[in-house]
Structure formats: structure tokens, C-alpha cells
Chain A
């Protein structure tokens, strides 16, 4: 079991700094997912941990030992690449055995380890095949097998599922989760897909522009995002974010005015009349109601009927894009008017700087 710790890690290419002083800990046996949009620095951070990139400043510690000057091969980590990086001229067996051969391990032992890993991943019958004779999912398994066979201190995954089709991605996601449960081990996983992050992670690290936006358990990030970026990034479909201005209400509370809509709130610390804020509400926390009790009145632009649930994409009254989720079927069409109520206990308000002022109003 291995703990990986980053202390004030910075990375610059020439004058351009891409990682701006990151602190984080991957606890022993934890499945940590780095998630963020393209160019946020998540792969660079993983490569820094792997030893494939040098840090410009800061420290990378593995089990309390600073490994900044230790070569990638001596860090005891294994990496699964986005492209799988299987040697195309070698059989699956040779691919898996290659790293062990470097350690001068006896052949019988190599054979045993390769076959054990192959059995674990159910790829024993593929051992004699070359990578080009394998499907995407099989290649993925071989790449994982190549990592497992080395019995590493920790596993690093660099967007390992992004080359697979949607269906296979779901299957492999489940298999990865099962694998983590079976072999334990610290795993750091990079993805831009927040669904992968939510389903796999013990801990999610949300990155943007080389900075950590928030670190936490998946549902903590979902329920109490620390800022509007995390709120918008975590969750699918994404949280509705409405620009609004706070005004004193006639009843003594605060009204958030967004276009022609007026959302009544009680007096809240951190929000004063005149403040520009962003009101966040997830699609599943909006309900269809009567005109009298409505916070918003909008028009349906597009209705997505999935059978078991319905998504309505709406606009109107100065709100350009609002998604509403409804469990079950709902017979609505383009042009229909909807009166919507927002669940105050699930409402988020972010300040002008994007930081959360309140997550849930009671």
C-alpha cells in the first residue's frame, strides 16, 4: 500500500507555467481521479508522478520519500497509457513479460506472473496474439495486465477508456472498479469524463488551468461544490447556472433577479442587495408546478424522451438555456410553457468570483 503526496508542485515549459503549485495526497489504497477539461494539466500532473516529466519546483513523495530525482523505472509505479502503448511486434505474452525481463527475473517466475495476471484479466487465450489482432477492450486489458504483472506500488491510468466506444467504456469502467476492489493498491486515474470520475473515484481532484479547484468525495463535490466551475463540471447533465442580481424583496428577504424571473430567498449571509451572483440548480431539483408557485416560467425548446425519464431543454424570460429533469414520461413539446419551482434545499449561490456562498438554502 502506497501513499503519494504532492507538495507545491509546479511545472513550467519555458516561461509558461502549466501547473501552479498543487498540493494533494493519494492515500494508501485510494482510487483518486484527476478530472478537468482539456489542457487543465491533469495528464501533466500524472506524468510528473510517473517520473516522465520533471517538476519545476515542489516535491513528489512516494511513501514519504521524495522521488523528484528518482527515475521513472525506480519509482515502482506502473502506468496504463491512453493509446495502451503495447509493443506491436510482440505477442501479448511478450508485452506483459517485457518489463519483468528487465529485472532479470527467472523465466519460470515471469511465466507464472504473466499467467496469473492473464487469468485475473481473463486474457489467457490471447497470450499468443499480437496487439493488432485484439479489439479495443482486449488491448485495454492487456495494457492493464502489463501494469499488474509488475506488482507496482501504485497504478497510474492516463485516460485509459477514451479510445473505447460508449458501451465498452461502461463495461471497462465496471471492470476497473472490480479490479481495484480485488487487488487494492493506490490508483491515480486521469479522465476528462466526469461520469468516469463519479463512478470510479474514492476521491476526485477537479483541475482547471493548472490549479486544483476542489478535492473531495464524488458526492461531496456533487452536493457541495466549492465554486461555479466545479458545480458546472461535475454532474451530467450539468448544473443550470443562472446569472442574477440580488435585490431586497418586499417580504424582507432577498430576491435573485435573473431576466424577468424573480427567485425569492430568505436573508442570507454573504448576499447583499446589488450583488451580482450565479444561481445554481441541478436539472433534477427543478419541478413543474402551477403558475402561482412558480419561480421561473419558460418555454420548451426541445424535449428528450428517454422512456424512463425526460429531459426538457428550455429558455425564456432572459434565461437562455435551462435543463429540467423529470422522472418518468412527460408529454411536452417544443413551444409548451412550463412553470417551474426550484428546490431551495438543493440550490447553490455563487458570488461574482465564482466561489460558493451557499450550498442548499434552508
Chain B
């Protein structure tokens, strides 16, 4: 017994010695927090912990936002704001100088309006198809079908891929000598030059973005479907409710908040579309698949004359659209939480 006591006491001592640097570190680490708490009280503490994130957000989001906003009121090619020429609202006037807003050709900056029209076409077709397909997939994968987990994983997998990887995979499939054309030729059909036809290019831009994003929205809807208590369906079954009526009167209304969130998120992401389509089609043929973000990128960085002012003005316009959509998203989430 005494030997055991001696061992315990030695181990205690070693533990105490090992703890000294840890305790010292925490004492030093705590010092500024103790100081702030002494000066500002407990209420100041949350702000201290928020400070690193706020600083990061400020430097990389808020400051660039203001710089961008300032750039939109300047002209010239100089990159330093202090050396740029103040032009007032000239960039905005240039963007919005149109004979007829429904006809991009009548606008001074027809590329901007073409990009807006392309984006709107893309968003309407992509979001509606994306939401419908996600919903149908979620409904099917919510049923007790064989290999349900496997299919859920298969549909979700593309979400994990980088947009550039997604675009490269599909480019490899769709190019003149890609595997899809090889297949068409092998069954005796003619080769289709998908990226030469504006309609085909738009179709594949929409298809690929749906393929890569559907899993994410499917997951949100699947979670929504699984949150509907099974008792409700059993009560409906006892009531002799037809499957169609169950879908329209029970499933859809209860899924509606999730569906609203999905629609608004898909809208926001649709308006921001760039990387996938840029790698897949390069915005072509011509400007057939050039969307608003690509227009901003090209105008600001990828043309021979880098027009930062115009690009900034266009991005402020895009920012306003996204702001409105984000408000809609917040409203949708709030409504979802209320149900």
C-alpha cells in the first residue's frame, strides 16, 4: 500500500508540473479578455469573440463592396481609385441607355442586355426544371424503394464536385469527338456540334447545371418530406384519400416552406451562374450563353481595354438583384420556421 501511495503521489506531481505551461498559457491568453470584461462588463464579451470574423468579413467583403461601388462612379483604365476619373452616374446611364429594353440590339451596351436576357432565359428554364426534377426525385427517393440509400448518394454525388470539374467532364462528353457523338455515330446517327448551335449550347448549359446542383435541392426537399409525420398519411389513408389528393392537399402544402427556400436559393444561384458555363461553352457560340457574371468578368478583366468602371456598375446592378432575392430567401426561411 505505501508503495502505491508513493506512485500516486509521484504521478500527481508530474501531472502538476506538466500542467504549469498549460496554466501559464491560459493565464496569458485570458489576460486581454479579463481586461475587456473589467472595462466593458460581460456585455462586451460577445463582441470580442465576434471581432476576428467581423474583421475578416470587413476586409474581404465590406471594403471591396465599397471599393466596387466607388469604381462604378469612375472611368478610365487605372486600377488605383485615387487616380481614376470621377464620372458620376455615366456608367449606369451607359448601361441603361436603351431604345427598347426588350430589344438588346437597341441598347448602347447591347452585350449587357444580351447577358441579362440570356441569364433570365437560363434562370427561368433552369430553376423551373431544377425544382421540378428535385421534387420528383425527392418524392421517389422518399418511398421505400430498393437501394434507396445508394440512389440518394448517386444523386447527391455531383454536388461534391467542383463546378470546373463538372464542366470538364461534360465537355469531354459533348465535344465534337466526345463520347456522346461517338455513341451517336456508332448507332448510325450524325454527329451534332453541340457548342456551335446556340440552342444546344443553352440546353447543355442548363442540363449540366441541373445535373450538378439537383442533389443539393433534392436533399433539402427530402428532409422536408421526412419531416412530415407518417401519421398524417395514415390518417389520410383511413379517410380514403386518393394518392393525388394526398400529394396536392397534404404533401405539397406541408412541403411548401421547403419548396420556397429551394426556389429562392436556386434563383440566387441561377443569377450568379458563371464558372460551369464559362468552362463548358466559354459563353458561346458568340454570346449565346454569356451570362451577367461573365459579362462583368469579361468587361472588367478579360477584354483588351479593362473597363473596371462599367464592370463595377454592372455588378452593383447584379448586387441589387441578389439583395432582393436574398430578402425573399430570408422571408421564405422565416415562413418555414413559422410552420
Contact = CB atoms under 8 A, between A and B. Distances in A.
A78 B241 contact: no
A99 B240 contact: yes
Interface string B45-59: 000000000000000
B242 interface: yes
A150 B239 contact: yes
A78 B239 CA distance: 8
A99 B250 contact: no
A18 interface: no
A320 interface: no
A73 B237 contact: yes
Contacts of A146: 235
A98 B231 contact: no
A89 B242 contact: no
Interface in A116-143: none
Contact of A102 (B234, B240, B253, B339): B240
Count class of interface residues, chain B? 10 to 19
A306 to B, nearest CB: 38
A85 B237 contact: no
Contact of A73 (B229, B240, B250): B240
B237 A83 contact: no
Nearest to B236: A98
A72 B245 CA distance: 16
A102 B238 contact: no
B23 interface: no
A331 interface: no
Interface in B214-269: 229, 231-232, 234-242, 245, 249-250, 253-254
A79 interface: yes
Nearest to B237: A72
B66 to A, nearest CB: 44
Interface in A65-114: 71-74, 77-79, 81-83, 85, 87-89, 98-99, 102-103
Given A85-B231, A89-B253, A102-B245, A72 B238 contact: yes
A73 B232 contact: no
Contact of B242 (A51, A52, A77, A102): A102
B234 A52 contact: yes
B235 A79 contact: yes
Interface in A265-298: none
A79 B238 contact: yes
A53 to B, nearest CB: 10
B241 A98 contact: yes
A50 interface: yes
Given A81-B235, A83-B229, A89 B254 contact: yes
- Greatest chain A CB density within 10 A among B234, B235, B245, B250 is at B235
Nearest to A103: B240
A275 B118 CA distance: 92
Contacts of B339: 88-89
B254 A73 contact: no
A50 B237 CA distance: 10
A74 B240 contact: yes
A71 B239 CA distance: 11
Nearest to A100: B239
A99 B239 contact: yes
Contacts of A71: 237, 240
Contact of B241 (A77, A82, A102): A102
Contacts of A85: 229, 231-232, 234-235
B73 to A, nearest CB: 49
A73 B238 CA distance: 5
Contact of B239 (A52, A73, A83, A88): A73
B239 A87 contact: no
Contact of B232 (A87, A99, A150): A87
Interface of B: 229, 231-232, 234-242, 245, 249-250, 253-254, 339
Given A73-B237, A85-B229, A87-B235, 19 more contacts: A52-B237, A71-B240, A72-B238, A73-B239, A74-B240, A77-B238, A81-B234, A81-B235, A83-B229, A85-B232, A85-B235, A87-B250, A89-B253, A89-B254, A99-B239, A99-B240, A102-B241, A102-B245, A150-B239
16 contacts: A51-B237, A71-B240, A72-B237, A72-B238, A73-B238, A73-B241, A79-B238, A81-B235, A83-B231, A85-B231, A87-B235, A88-B339, A89-B339, A98-B236, A102-B242, A103-B240
Of all A-B residue pairs in the complex, the 6 with the closest CB atoms, nearest first, are A73-B240, A99-B239, A85-B231, A85-B235, A89-B253, A102-B240
